[in-house]
């Protein structure tokens, strides 16, 4: 009887020690600050909606930048400043358009000049008496190939000439027009020092808002990565707790046996 009582007491002591150890681990798991608290989140109408599958209807980052710029134009500039900016922008647009058209016309004129020269060269070459064969001293005769088909202007070559010179001419004229328009717009803005100062201040505020927006996005990315790290650590601790629970269950079953 005494032996049985001692055996039962030792079993109870071991089980009690195991329960205390398990209770300490449970307390640590519930009180550890590194374990995130998961809550259910329900979307409200004010929350940002998930992106749509169609690229045409997705919000573009430039749309938000345009809204920020419009807000600064309305609140930081006067009506005269906005009119000055519109005049400068229209000058850049007009100069670029005129330069592109002039470059396109110049390219088309050069392509037409090349086409007429090719036609004149081909007609002159066709009217000249050309040898048709070569006679060697040993009496062997070799015909001279006809190269008329290689020199004759074709519709495809004319189209390629017009397209190439038109594209390069419009690009060159557009760049020249952009430079001239930018210089004219700069003179328009700098003609009034007070207006120039207000426009520069508004542009600096716009840059500050854009940089703050980028900083906010970067911080949200850091918080998201930290959340993922905390979730991984929680999973590791949970797996350790499950192993400990399995060991306690096996120990209890062995003691019962």
Cα atoms in the 13 Å half-sphere on the side-chain side of 171: 6
Rounded Cα gap, residues 170 and 218, in angstroms = 41
On whether residue 18 sits in a domain, the answer given is: no
248 touches 40 (CB < 8 A): no
Instruction: Evaluate whether 206 touches 196 at the Cβ level (below 8 Å).
Output: no
5 lies in some domain: no
Task: Tell me: pLDDT of 8 over 50.
Answer: no
**Cα distance between residue 177 and residue 100, in whole Å:** 7
Q: How far apart are CA 157 and CA 169, in angstroms?
A: 18
pLDDT digits (tens, 9 = 90+) for 196-212: 888 888 888 888 888 88
- Percent of the chain scoring above 70 in pLDDT: 63
86 within domain boundaries: yes
Residue 34 included in any domain:
no
- Of the given ranges (141-155, 166-180, 229-243), which has the lowest mean pLDDT? 229-243
Spatial separation of the C-alpha atoms in residues 23 and 192, rounded to whole Å: 77
* Residue 112, CA distances (Å) to 39, 100, 122, 157 in order: 74, 18, 15, 12
- Domain assignment present for 72: yes
Q: Is residue 189 within 8 Å of residue 195, measured between CB atoms? A: yes
Q: If pLDDT is split at 50, 70 and 90, which confidence band does 97 have? A: very high
Helix, strand, coil % in the chain, rounded to nearest 5: 80, 0, 20
What does the pLDDT average to over 146-167? Answer: 88
User: What is the structure's pLDDT at 95?
Assistant: 94
At 42, is the pLDDT very low, low, confident or very high (cuts 50, 70, 90)?
very low
Report the candidate in 189, 182, 186 with the shortest Cα–Cα distance to residue 96. 182
Least confident of 44-53, 102-111, 235-244: 44-53
**Tally of domains within the chain:** 1
Local confidence band at 3 (pLDDT 50, 70, 90 cut-offs): very low
Kindly tell me the sign of the dihedral angle through the C-alpha atoms of 88, 187, 68, 219.
positive
Domain carrying residue 178: 61-249
Q: In this structure, is residue 10 part of a structural domain?
A: no
> Is residue 45, in this structure, part of any structural domain at all?
no
Q: Is residue 166 part of a domain?
A: yes
């Amino acid at each position: 009887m005494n032996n049985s009582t001692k055996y039962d007491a030792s079993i109870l002591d071991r089980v009690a020690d195991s329960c205390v150890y398990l209770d300490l681990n449970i307390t640590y798991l519930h009180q550890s600050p590194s374990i995130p608290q998961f809550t259910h989140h329900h979307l409200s109408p004010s929350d940002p909606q998930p992106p749509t599958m169609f690229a045409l209807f997705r919000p573009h980052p430039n749309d938000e930048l345009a809204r920020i710029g419009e807000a600064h134009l309305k609140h930081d500039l006067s009506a005269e400043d906005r009119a000055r900016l519109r005049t400068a922008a229209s000058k850049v647009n007009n100069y670029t358009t005129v330069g592109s058209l002039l470059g396109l016309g110049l390219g088309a004129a050069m392509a037409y000049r090349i086409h007429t020269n090719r036609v004149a060269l081909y007609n002159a070459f066709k009217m000249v008496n050309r040898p048709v064969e070569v006679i060697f001293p040993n009496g062997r005769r070799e015909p001279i190939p006809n190269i008329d088909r290689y020199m004759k202007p074709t519709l495809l070559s004319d189209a390629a000439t017009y397209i190439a010179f038109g594209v390069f001419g419009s690009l060159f004229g557009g760049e020249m027009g952009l430079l001239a328009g930018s210089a004219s717009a700069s003179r328009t803005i700098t003609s009034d020092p007070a207006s120039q100062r207000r426009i520069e201040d508004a542009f600096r505020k716009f840059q500050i808002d854009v940089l703050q927006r980028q900083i906010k996005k970067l911080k949200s990315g850091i918080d998201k990565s930290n959340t993922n790290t905390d979730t991984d650590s929680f999973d590791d601790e949970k797996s350790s707790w499950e192993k400990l629970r399995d060991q306690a269950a096996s120990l209890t079953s062995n003691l019962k046996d």
